[in-house]
A and B are shown apart, each in its own frame.
Chain A
């Protein structure tokens, strides 16, 4: 499509820029590590994180997902630390990036960013390294979430992992008495007008994940690192899907309404929608198909100019404890990163530990491809991967057609 041509100016410049930087760095003898690191280090890479937590400043300004600062665990925190929590809820990862980029003057302390936003915040210089030694519960975190590629670059932690969850296939049990085993139901013309998909550019990765098993000759290894050919194949698949889609849902609540009213029968969703719909006695269930799933991992990240860093560390320390991790997991329908939270979850709601895979063994995490910002530099150091800005324009061309 002309889409690629239109974006090629910016694309070409970015490639040239990244390539120049890569050459310059190689000349200096620096190697770039795997796992989504780019040639140029993040602007805040050399900022030394604090080594102790001082007395709280009395205030804490957070950008969070709705439900992440529920009074049931915020109240005890304020009572014990004196840090008053002021939260602004963001509606999307992109809004979080925009808010953080606009709050450079030191308005915000922390953001509960998801993996698709993290690298943008890190390379935008909006967040700074954090010291996990100040978080006692960090030692109990699942190994994957100590250094996930979306928030840790060259061993530097740009934030402390919080919770995670898979992107599931949600379906109406009346329409599908037997659980679908493949994401193919979302690309099947038989379900025309009954499908809903999130209105989010990162959805291209879901198409790429599906192509990994249906078109192995494309050679997709990581759905967030796509070369031009793989990217074009994913976009072509999404353009085929577009006439089948009833609606691209903007907010979780919209998808809940679509399923509740019977406008759609199958779609990509979060466990949160399933829990809410099942609580309302709607005939729905969710599943992770055989191709695996994408997922999100959230991280509390510290703003570069955070005005209340001590309260920020106190908060991170607090939300990493098994009890608060379990509380939040049950409240939101997601999974704690603290492996000790399992028993606490069972105490709050029997069976929830298993339901949310809080006891998952490390091999389980190989089936979940966690969101991370697509960048031009691939894992092998080449700069042939399609960056997020191109994902965005391509997504607009898919959903607008």
Chain B
């Protein structure tokens, strides 16, 4: 006891002096706390983005595929002038938009029911149901859709057993649209639900007092207040679709190439990293614009 008692003050003394130093010098405390995350951010994120941008202005030797560090805009010119890449970019953006709109339409009533109608118990159950698919691997969920949509799949089997002709939507853009909408749906439901839950019940009561029926109140009160949540969800659905390249490989057909697939084949097949980098700046630019618009619409307050 005595020994311990004698030891303790010295120990706390060291810690105490460090504590008081940090208290006296708040900038030191901020530095210690922020250096690891900021360093990580600068090194891993900003530096790699910067390298991506720099590489995009280089070229490769077309035969040996070694990078030639000559500054030029050829890669960007190819992307802008070649109809192939315009088509690929257009297809990717359209698909991302279609998936986002589909998910918003599907998520809104679901989130409304979850936030404003369901009992606590049902709410928990629904929450689990929304999140459960995220426990399974992405690839497994995409493959399960192949089993549903392919020629001898569950869909055609069901259609034929009730006497309808088979639907040949396996390996098409329609299949991609269905799979993307399914995969990213939870990312739309959760922000929409969060925004709706924040709409005070008193506003609904006030709307009712002023003579608004249920639908009118939903349209004029809930929808505008929950809209930033939908926009926040759309950031996920849009950017995740925009950057995907696995679903097009697995469920896409012959004309389903995405920006990500061209980037992938530029690196993996052509070993043309500069061109891949140039093409990869396209989704970065699209997302920058999208985020600016989303910020205007108040999406970041809803997150």
Measured CB to CB, the residues of A under 8 A from B are 1-3, 5-6, 9-11, 13-14, 92, 94-95, 97-98, 101, 120, 123-125, 193, 201, 242-243, 245-248, 250, 257-258, 261-263, 375-376, 387-390, 392-393, 396-397, 399-401
| Contacting pair A3 B150 (CB below 8 A) | no
Q: Do B74 and A2 touch across chains, with their CB atoms under 8 A apart?
A: no
Query: Which single residue of chain B is at the shortest CB-CB distance from A394?
Result: B84
CA distance A45 to B11 in the complex (A): 69
Query: Are B269 and A14 within 8 A (Cβ)?
Result: no
Query: Which residues of A sit under 8 angstroms from B151, Cβ to Cβ?
Result: 261-263
The answer, among A250, A387, A400, for a CB contact under 8 Å with B62, is A387
B262 touches A10 (CB 8 A): no
Q: How far is the CA of A211 from the CA of B218 in the complex (A)?
A: 65
The answer to whether A124 and B254 touch across the interface, beta carbons within 8 angstroms, is: no
Known contacts A389-B270, A401-B84; is-contact A262 B63 (Cβ 8 Å): no
* Chain A residue, CB-CB nearest to B84: A397
Listed in ascending order, the chain B residues whose CB lies under 8 Å from chain A are 59-60, 62-66, 74, 77-78, 81-84, 87-88, 146, 150-153, 168, 170-171, 249, 252-255, 257, 262, 265, 267-272
- In the complex, the answer to whether A98 meets B257 with C-beta atoms within 8 Å is no
Kindly list chain A residues whose C-beta atoms are within 8 Å of the C-beta of B168: 193
A397-B88 Cα distance, complex, nearest whole Å? 10
Minimal beta-carbon separation of B76 from chain A (angstroms): 11
A224 to chain B, nearest CB (A): 14
Q: Kindly state the separation between the CA atoms of A95 and B271 in the bound complex, as whole angstroms.
A: 8
In Å, the complex CA distance between A376 and B63 comes to 9
Contacts A97-B65, A389-B270, A401-B255 given; indicate if A396 touches B265 (C-beta within 8 A). yes
Bound Cα distance from A397 to B272, whole angstroms:
16
Which residue among B62, B252, B253, B270 has the maximum number of chain A CB atoms within 10 Å of its CB?
A: B62
- Inter-chain contact A124/B65, CB cutoff 8 Å: yes
CB of B268 within 8 A of CB of A262, answer no
CB contacts (< 8 Å) of B253 on chain A: these are 246-247
User: B160 CB to closest chain A CB, in angstroms?
Assistant: 13
Known: A14-B63, A123-B64. A261 touches B153 (CB 8 A): yes
The 5 A-B pairs of least Cβ separation, nearest first, read A389-B62, A400-B257, A94-B269, A397-B84, A245-B254
On whether A400 and B87 interact (CB within 8 A), knowing A6-B78, A94-B271, the answer reads yes
Provide 24 A-B residue pairs closer than 8 Å at the C-beta atoms, listed in order of the A residue: A1-B83, A92-B268, A94-B268, A94-B270, A94-B271, A97-B65, A97-B271, A123-B63, A123-B64, A124-B66, A193-B168, A247-B171, A250-B249, A261-B152, A261-B153, A262-B151, A262-B152, A263-B151, A389-B63, A389-B270, A392-B265, A393-B270, A401-B84, A401-B87
Task: Please determine whether B254 and A242 come into contact, CB atoms closer than 8 angstroms.
Answer: yes
Interface SS of A by simple majority = helix
Residues from chain B with a CB closer than 8 A to the CB of A14 are 62-63
Residues of B within 8 A of A246 (CB): 171, 253-254
Docked-complex contact A397 and B74, CB < 8 angstroms: no
| A92 to B270 alpha-carbon distance, docked (Å) | 11
Q: State A101–B88 Cα separation when bound (angstroms).
A: 29
CB pair A400 B270 closer than 8 Å: no
Whether A6 lies near B63 (C-beta < 8 A) is no
- B269 near A2 with CB under 8 A, answer no
Chain A neighbourhood of B249, CB < 8 A: 250
Q: How far is the CA of A392 from the CA of B275 in the complex (A)?
A: 12
A215 to B195, CA, bound (A): 65
Give the complex CA separation of A94 and B82 in angstroms: 24
How far apart are B175's CB and chain A's nearest CB, in angstroms? 11
A6 to B66, CA, bound (A): 20
Q: Which residues of A contact B65 (CB under 8 A)?
A: 97, 101, 120, 124, 389
Given A9-B74, A392-B269: A263 and B171 interface contact (C-beta under 8 Å): yes
Known pairs A10-B62, A247-B254, A392-B270. 12 more at Cβ < 8 A? A2-B81, A9-B74, A13-B62, A124-B65, A125-B64, A247-B252, A258-B171, A389-B272, A392-B265, A396-B262, A400-B255, A401-B87
A residues less than 8 Å from B87 (CB atoms): 400-401
Q: With A and B bound together, what is the CA distance between A94 and B74 in angstroms? A: 23
Complex Cα spacing A197 to B65, Å: 26
In-complex Cβ contact of A263 among B82, B150, B268 (8 A) = B150
Among residues of B, the one whose C-beta sits closest to the C-beta of A397 is: B84
Chain B residues contacting A376 (CB-CB under 8 Å) are: 63
Assess the A400–B268 pair: CB atoms within 8 A: no
Q: Which residues of A contact B252 (CB under 8 A)?
A: 247
A277 to chain B, nearest CB (A): 14
Find the A residue at minimum CB distance from B61: A14
Cβ contacts under 8 Å, B271 to chain A: 94, 97-98, 101
> Quick check: A400 and B262 within 8 Å, CB to CB?
yes
With A2-B82, A3-B82, A389-B63 in contact, is A98–B268 under 8 Å at CB? yes
Cα A162 to Cα B234 with chains together (Å): 53
Q: From residue A55, how far is it (CB to closest CB) to chain B in Å?
A: 34
Chain A residues, CB < 8 A from B77: 6
B84 touches A388 (CB 8 A): no
Give CA–CA (A14, B153) in the complex, Å. 49
- Assembly CA distance A376 to B62 (angstroms): 10
- CB-nearest residue of chain B relative to A376? B63
A187 to chain B, nearest CB (A): 14
CB pair B254 A248 closer than 8 Å: yes
